[in-house]
Chain A
Amino acid sequence: MQFPIEDISFLKELIPQREPFIMVDRLLYFDDKEIAAGLLVTDDNILSTTNNFSESGIVEHMAQTIALHTGYSFFLKGKPAPMGYIGAIKNLEIYELPETGTVVQSKATILQEFMGVTLMDVVTKVGEKVIAVAKMKTVIASDKSTDN
């Protein structure tokens, strides 16, 4: 597939979240260790405040970028997207809240995978400006239908 992928119906199949809680609307890049995804922050986004995307929105966008990595990798294997959980968030720093009408982009990189836990480094930008960073640990729910 060619990037970016902006078919929102397709992207929704890759993550467990549902409207109005979809916080990614484009898949910009993917490989085994890395993903980049974006979101146009609209005024009617449930996690927007009067003029800005909230802290919660940024964190959820980060988390869904990671979910998209899992979902797309399962899609490439011909499997449905699994349910996953954020196990922990650490070193979260938010420098700026993006204005509504802007596109935020998060890049998530796998730092380590161990015992079913994945540690990822996430950097969120508006344009070239870094607005937030975090490390997140994710766990995929055990499901025999997704096992090899």
Chain B
Amino acid sequence: MALSNETIQNKLIEKFGDQVLNFSTASGILSFESPKEINLKVLQYLYEEPSLGFTFLTDLCGVNYPDNIGAELVVVYHLHNFSENIRLRYSISTSINETAVFTVSKLFESANWMERETYDFFGINFVGHPNLKRILNVEEMDYFPLRKEYPLEDQTRIDKDDEMFGRG
């Protein structure tokens, strides 16, 4: 009955072999990775396999690791099995030059906007998404602001005229 992290890990390895990798457990949540090509297969398996039943997509977000050449962008899925009350973290990585990733919005309606948000901030191109356009930023924006190549303004800069705002 009780679903444990080991059971999940074994089931995944049984199904996908060495394509699922880097299993680790951080603060109780099992995390693993896979090549981006099979993300839909993995999520569908987790969703449809009755003994796993990860039918709830809690969260989907992007992360940018500029130092991981060839895997700069990461998409992180947080899944939840309500009846067993267990969470799972699954991530795929993609190159910043070739950001196509399959959408999971057919599996989870909730992924629709979360993928739009991830596209908006990281420029990850979700292939097959019904309406992939910017959601929080203006449509005219031509960059992806949460990427690490866009640092926040230096708070100690002094070349700016702030008199208009009472900070001069």
Are chains A and B native binding partners rather than an unrelated pairing? no
